[in-house]
Amino acid sequence: MSLAEITLDLPTTRPILKQIPVHLRMTVLPAPTLSPVEGELVSINPEHMFVRAPISPLPKTVAHLRFRMLKKRMCEARGQVVWHRNDGFGIAIEECNQPLESVLLELSDLSPNLRQLYLADVLYPRIDLSL
């Protein structure tokens, strides 16, 4: 067998990192009747996200992440709070729209510095919580 006859089955897509560090400042709305607070989306992947905020929503609280990219893409995800501690909470993502999936794939291919430049195009990031 010559080298020309050898074939390799290589993956055609790059898997998404376990957690993509984003450190994105955002507004967290604890409930319609409560005042919004500033938070930070620390990391995200298609299944989970970690939010640092001065509030601790209870597990099973419904969360809705949304933001717009300059390219007019509305990115959205829905999920539930699965854990909380004094400095933040984790959300298990149950639904994620196609634009957000595309953004996550693009982010997973970028270095940390390029990732921050990419995230400069994010407009109005927020998480709504249904307490």
How many domains, the chain? 1
Domain containing 49: what range?
18-130
In a domain, 86, yes or no: yes
Q: Is the separation of the CB atoms in 41 and 19 below 8 Å? A: no
Among residues 65, 61, 62, the alpha carbon closest in space to that of 76 is found at: 65
Q: Is the separation of the CB atoms in 51 and 41 below 8 Å? A: yes
In a domain, 106, yes or no: yes
In a domain, 1, yes or no: no
In a domain, 55, yes or no: yes
- Residue 93, domain CATH: 2.40.10.220
In a domain, 100, yes or no: yes
3-state secondary structure of 120: coil
Each residue's pLDDT tens digit, 66-112 = 999 887 789 999 999 999 998 999 999 999 999 999 999 999 989 99
Each residue's pLDDT tens digit, 102-130 = 999 999 989 999 999 999 999 999 999 98
Query: Which residues pair with residue 103 across a beta bridge?
Result: none
Among residues 66, 89, 62, the alpha carbon closest in space to that of 77 is found at: 66
pTM, to two decimals: 0.82
Tell me how far apart the alpha carbons of residues 129 and 131 are, in angstroms, rounded to a whole number.
Answer: 6
Q: Which two tokens stand for residue 26?
A: 């955002």
